[in-house]
Amino acid sequence: MVKFLPLKQAVAENLNNGDTVAFEGFTHLIPTAAAHEAIRQGFRDLTLIRMTPDLIYDQMIGMGMAKKIVFSYVGNPGVGLLRRARDAIENGFPRSIEVEEHSHAGMANAYEAGAAGLPCAVFRGYRGAGLAAVNPNIKSVTCPFTGEVLAAVPSIRPDVTFIHAQKADKKGNVLVEGIIGIQKEAVLAAKRAVVTVEEVADNFDDLHPNLTVLPRWTIAAISVVPGGSHPSYAHGYYARDNAAYLEWDEIAADREKFQAWMQANVIEKSAGDFAGRVEHLRKAA
């Protein structure tokens, strides 16, 4: 049953060295605070899964925590390349990492299959594309009814998934709205799920029943971390800090600058610092 825990404890109880872990969020609601807590606790040999690895995976890869990444777009959206990830892939710095690359459609279908308890996902994908030749986890199956050859990829089943969401109620049910991305599937595909939220509401009695709610019994732990997805955003709470994404390109371009930034902004900080980071991004009520 779900537990409300301080983030430090929620991460320590649910993440282990060597785990396969997804910190998901499709440009929106990225669980930055949870990733920073994992960095502070210094986990090693992680297999990091995410459709759009983004800044937090650049940071974890740069800190040498990843042995493998599974992804479909290893960029800083609208800005360019993820420079720490590139350094690991191109130069093996700070360590070499194994790469498993898919398309968005492949990853989305694989998460959905994981949530559905299926061993693999079947879809019309990768036709004519080079990825099928370099990723042994992209295979094909023939439809038994029509004979059409379709792509097949193994389902994604993380040991633990971290997401950020708008709010939980006091029982631990979680509301996600706006661009909902792949978060619901990533939670339901995982053995354990940890959710950071902006706030806790007494109850969800006023919510429309079609909103995306993850029932409390699908979640292991909830931590209240206002601002916890900065520089990403939380729809209805604060805007995306586009300037921070632009700045990251410069910080990550240099190994020493990166280390200094991580020391000052992650290692020496705590989850409580996130609220202050989004203050200027909150919309006038």
Partner 1 sequence: MSGTGFTPNEMMTIAASRALKNDDVCFVGIGAPSAACNVARLTHAPDITLIYESGTIGTAPDVLPLSIGDGELCETAVTTVAVPEMFRYWLQGGRISIGFLGAAQLDKFGNINTTVIGDYFHPKTRLPGGGGAPEIATSSKEIYITMAQTKRGMVEKIDFFTSFGHGEGGDHRKRLGIDTSGPTLLITDLAIWKPDPVTKEFTVVSLHPGVTRQQVQESCGWVVKFAEALDETPAPSELELNTLRDLQARTRAAHEGTGKAKAA
Residues forming the site for partner 1 (CB under 8 A): 26-28, 51-52, 71-75, 77-82, 85-86, 89-90, 101, 103-105, 108-109, 111-112, 123-131, 134, 148-149, 178-182, 184-185, 212, 233, 235, 239-247, 280-281
In what helix (H) or strand (E) does residue 17 lie, and over which residues does it extend? none
Least CB distance from residue 32 to partner 1, whole Å? 15
- 179/260 with CB nearer partner 1: 179
Residues with Cβ within 8 Å of 84's Cβ and at least 6 positions away in sequence, in order, are 58, 59, 61, 62, 252, 258
- 5/70 with CB nearer partner 1: 70
CA 8, CA 5: separation in Å to the nearest integer?
A: 8
Least CB distance from residue 109 to partner 1, whole Å? 7
Query: b/e per residue, 11-49, with b = 16+ CB within 10 A?
Result: beebbeeebbbbbbbbbbbbbbbbbbbbbbeebeebbbb
Least CB distance from residue 68 to partner 1, whole Å? 14
Least CB distance from residue 183 to partner 1, whole Å? 8
Bridge partners (DSSP) of residue 123 are 151
Length of the chain: 285
- 184/221 with CB nearer partner 1: 184
- 85/220 with CB nearer partner 1: 85
